Amino acid sequence: MKYDLVLLHAPSVYDFRKNSLLAGPISDVVPSSPVFEMYPIGLTSIADYLEQYGLKVKIINIANRMLMSDKFDVEAKLRKIKTKAFGIDLHWLPHAHGSIELARIVKTLHPKTPIIFGGLSATYYHKELIEYPFIDFVMRGDSTEKLMLLLMNKIEAGNTHYTDIPNLTWKKGRECGYNPITYVPKDLDDIDVPGYRYTIRSVFKYRNFLDPLPYNGWLQYPNTALLTARGCT
């Protein structure tokens, strides 16, 4: 199956299976291990919103797949994927190594496929990220579902005029652009946050229940959250 967008979640340190990790107090922030295999809820809301417009979006929790099996071959998994774009979250800063290393591997396997970064830390360090030769876009800010649709439409059409997409840091050859953050929605009434229904649908639609699992052990102890706001009030 060919996708329009594949969203990947990396472990905090890509080669954690070879090198031991020192668990710090930051590991208690999310319900997962020091590998930080829990992906931000923005992935599900983006996927849900794009699929409402007919796009095929798949979430693959690379970190969790690596935790679940020592035999899981990341490169073999990525090599088989056919998609128009990859999205990688750099939300929590502990993922600085894992997300960047994963992007490098993806670009090696799919040199012509654009890679999009997003998340809180990606927003803060967007100028540094766009300097990497294997990162093509950084979508800055929060609640970027509609902006991702604009970007995906341009990628689909082969339109490289990126200056009219708010919040976007982009690269075209040696030229880099930093569009101002002008899209800050006043409400989220038309967005399904956190988009859990997408996750359930995707299991049947893409016939894989392991890829979108939120964290290691979720099947044994399922846990979720009911949200009344986005971000930290």
Q: Is there a contact between 91 and 42 (Cβ–Cβ < 8 Å)? A: yes
Query: Mean pLDDT over residues 168-196, rounded?
Result: 89
Residue 137: name the closest of 146, 145, 148 by CA.
Answer: 148
Name the residue with tokens 């970190």.
63
Predicted local distance difference test score (pLDDT) of residue 55 = 97
| Domain at 2-205: CATH code | 3.40.50.2300
- Tens of pLDDT, residue by residue over 84-121, are 999 999 998 889 999 999 999 999 999 999 999 999 99
Predicted local distance difference test score (pLDDT) of residue 30 = 59
Domain boundaries in the chain? 2-205
- pTM (two decimals): 0.91
Q: Across all residues in the chain, what is the average pLDDT?
A: 89
- Tens of pLDDT, residue by residue over 51-75, are 999 999 999 999 999 999 999 999 9
The DSSP symbol for 128 reads: H
- Give Cβ neighbours of residue 88 (< 8 Å, ≥ 6 apart): 7, 8, 9, 10, 99, 102, 103, 106, 115, 116, 117, 118
